[in-house]
A and B are shown apart, each in its own frame.
Chain A
């Protein structure tokens, strides 16, 4: 094959299958769709004409899953606060799993809170609630239980050494149960939690690496003050999955991170942005993914966006055109 034909062949492969450039990575989308009231709107044109607004496009699971598939997000990570409506709507986790599979999407995981882990008198209840979450995820067919390790700093922090130890003990117990069920527990740190800048490495190292893994939410960890490249390079063998999102305000000061209800700011300030729209070094991160031969789910979490569909598309463009070629 001459040089010109080799170039044409290479270009054609990119066009033909641009979203399978990295066989080691499966891309998922974190569900922040905030309660979808319909399974499938059959009379979509009629529905649209009731109001002639674009909210019609965001009202049924059928279209949302199709948007995901169209943009190459073959996994969906579920949010438990949606289940009280979602489960009666579908009838069962299996029914949702089947519905999503018909549209080419599988459940990658779900979000979870390890509630009151610092309090050993609450451990029995924490474990029972976490077991239910693991069982539910298994019914959905997912494998990643990305777990906020503790409640918010406001009202709980600062933690004593013993409270950090107690927190590590209970998530390890949850991890043992999850591992038996084929589920990976991923510690999901958030910038406003009681496990925070000063203690999250200590907490991580107190957990058993056989049972407890780490979901690296790039923006959250940067917001609490970590260098995400150094953190990943150091703990790459613990990190089982990512929440890929950007921030423009890394290393927030303590008085912001520890304040009450800081996730949603009064003036509309956004902590989270689409990859490439903030300041984080995702290209450096992908070089490290290649170095450590990361394999698994990478979830784009479009948290706080005004338009989830636009953010999905913007993120996908950045991944396809800036990141995947680094680790291909």
Chain B
């Protein structure tokens, strides 16, 4: 497998002291060489059109931002390479930002438009895949649309059309789609096999260690049974147990009934990452494994913690070379 780290470790959306520095280019200029210094030579970028509307174009999350600060995507890639980041492995597109009113045409229209943008951006960056979150959180969709009868059926039918539309663009651009499935997804309340059977055959799946753990699924079995369909992997960690149906709430990443951090820096949670990576080796997985430390409170520290955890995972039968890391 090849290892990278997601820039989602920089939480640009929620309050914390001095979080506004994340919107300025100087912060990212310091971060890029730190990523390489911590041993990561590839990154994943969360595509986030909020920064087109907001004007914080120092945040490298859209093609618009890159063009404002670097003129072209190619110059941005060259800038990353000059700072030791050899490749942008992939993009993550999450349409949740568009679930903000009772107009489903707005949601699907904006998701379709910006999803297409994200695939084209990924192609220009030279990515191998795009990870797509197929639905916003169940509770958020229900908040806006729950009063309509059959909302789930209608929503899923349009979601299938949306994703198959993405598959067409991705095939044209030579990018692999990797479908992410967070523990709070609307898919969780659906017949998943029926959903899968209606998707374009080119679509692969993302396996996310923490989300699987919270949803109570057996990751080893899943990895072995779907080895040929894995498009990308997230190495994520958690100690969270969803014992109060948090997945049905509008903000499932922030469980209101007992406030806690759902996702932890890798190595600080309870997921058996060693067993997870061992299984990846056993199935000869040769794609990208992306460390995602979303919800970390200190990105620079999370970088070093992650490298430490990877080094520890490599202490047994796994070697650093299994993660694509040179000593």
A residues with CB within 8 A of B: 33-39, 41-43, 46-47, 50-51, 53-55, 58-60, 81, 83-85, 88-89, 152, 260-261, 263-268, 304-308
CB of B17 within 8 A of chain A? yes
Contacts of B256 in A (CB 8 A): 38-39, 89
Q: Which of A36, A37, A261 contacts B68 (CB 8 A)?
A: A261
- Taking chain B's interface residues, is the majority helix, strand, or loop, or is none over half, making it mixed? loop
A53, B109: Cα distance in complex, Å: 40
Closest 5 CB pairs of A and B: A88-B250, A306-B18, A37-B254, A55-B16, A266-B25
- What is the CB-to-nearest-CB distance from A70 to chain B, in angstroms, rounded to a whole number? 18
Contact of A266 with B251 in the complex, beta carbons under 8 Å:
no
Most chain A CB within a 10 A radius of its CB, from B18, B20, B23, B259: B259
A323, B14: Cα distance in complex, Å: 33
Contact of A306 with B260 in the complex, beta carbons under 8 Å:
no
Within 8 A of A (CB), among B1-54: 13-21, 23-26, 54
Contact of B297 with A53 in the complex, beta carbons under 8 Å:
yes
Could you jot down 17 A-B contacts, CB within 8 Å?
Answer: A34-B19, A34-B20, A37-B254, A38-B259, A41-B259, A42-B259, A50-B260, A53-B298, A59-B15, A88-B140, A89-B251, A266-B58, A267-B25, A267-B26, A306-B21, A307-B18, A308-B15
| Interface flags, B301-326, vs A, CB<8A=1, else 0 | 00000000000000000000000000
Contact of B17 with A47 in the complex, beta carbons under 8 Å:
no
Q: Which of A84, A264, A308 contacts B56 (CB 8 A)?
A: A264
Within 8 A of A (CB), among B210-254: 250-251, 253-254
* In the complex, residue of chain A having the shortest beta-carbon distance to the beta carbon of B54: A81
Interface range, B side = 35 or more
Contacts of B159 in A (CB 8 A): none
CB of B100 within 8 A of chain A? yes
Contact of B251 with A55 in the complex, beta carbons under 8 Å:
no
CB of B261 within 8 A of chain A? yes
- What is the CB-to-nearest-CB distance from B199 to chain A, in angstroms, rounded to a whole number? 28
Given A42-B259, A50-B260, A37-B253 contact (CB < 8 Å): yes
CB of B293 within 8 A of chain A? no
* In the complex, residue of chain A having the shortest beta-carbon distance to the beta carbon of B57: A261
Contacts of A55 in B (CB 8 A): 16-17, 297
Most chain A CB within a 10 A radius of its CB, from B97, B100, B256: B256
Contact of B13 with A35 in the complex, beta carbons under 8 Å:
yes
CB of B69 within 8 A of chain A? yes
Q: Which of A41, A263, A307 contacts B55 (CB 8 A)?
A: A263
* In the complex, residue of chain A having the shortest beta-carbon distance to the beta carbon of B296: A51
Given A38-B254, A88-B140, A88-B251, A306-B17 contact (CB < 8 Å): yes
Contacts of A264 in B (CB 8 A): 20, 23-24, 55-58
CB of B143 within 8 A of chain A? yes
Given A84-B97, A266-B24, A35-B14 contact (CB < 8 Å): yes
Contact of B250 with A268 in the complex, beta carbons under 8 Å:
no
A59, B255: Cα distance in complex, Å: 12
A42, B255: Cα distance in complex, Å: 12
* In the complex, residue of chain A having the shortest beta-carbon distance to the beta carbon of B55: A261
Given A43-B258, A47-B259, A306-B21, A37-B14 contact (CB < 8 Å): yes
Q: Which of B17, B25, B58 contacts A307 (CB 8 A)?
A: B17
Contacts of B69 in A (CB 8 A): 266
B residues with CB within 8 A of A: 13-21, 23-26, 54-58, 68-69, 97, 99-100, 139-140, 143-144, 250-251, 253-254, 256, 258-261, 297-298
A54, B25: Cα distance in complex, Å: 24
* In the complex, residue of chain B having the shortest beta-carbon distance to the beta carbon of A304: B20
Contacts of A267 in B (CB 8 A): 24-26
- What is the CB-to-nearest-CB distance from B30 to chain A, in angstroms, rounded to a whole number? 11
A43, B18: Cα distance in complex, Å: 24
Contact of B24 with A268 in the complex, beta carbons under 8 Å:
yes
Most chain B CB within a 10 A radius of its CB, from A42, A50, A307: A50
Contact of A58 with B17 in the complex, beta carbons under 8 Å:
yes
- What is the CB-to-nearest-CB distance from A281 to chain B, in angstroms, rounded to a whole number? 27
Given A33-B15, A81-B54, A307-B17, A89-B250 contact (CB < 8 Å): yes
A268, B259: Cα distance in complex, Å: 33
Q: Which of A53, A58, A265 contacts B24 (CB 8 A)?
A: A265
Given A88-B140, A261-B68, A264-B55, A54-B251 contact (CB < 8 Å): no
A143, B23: Cα distance in complex, Å: 31
Given A89-B250, A264-B24, A34-B55 contact (CB < 8 Å): no
Contact of B55 with A88 in the complex, beta carbons under 8 Å:
no
* In the complex, residue of chain B having the shortest beta-carbon distance to the beta carbon of A89: B251
- What is the CB-to-nearest-CB distance from B19 to chain A, in angstroms, rounded to a whole number? 6
Contacts of A39 in B (CB 8 A): 256
Given A34-B15, A81-B54, A88-B253 contact (CB < 8 Å): no
- What is the CB-to-nearest-CB distance from A211 to chain B, in angstroms, rounded to a whole number? 27
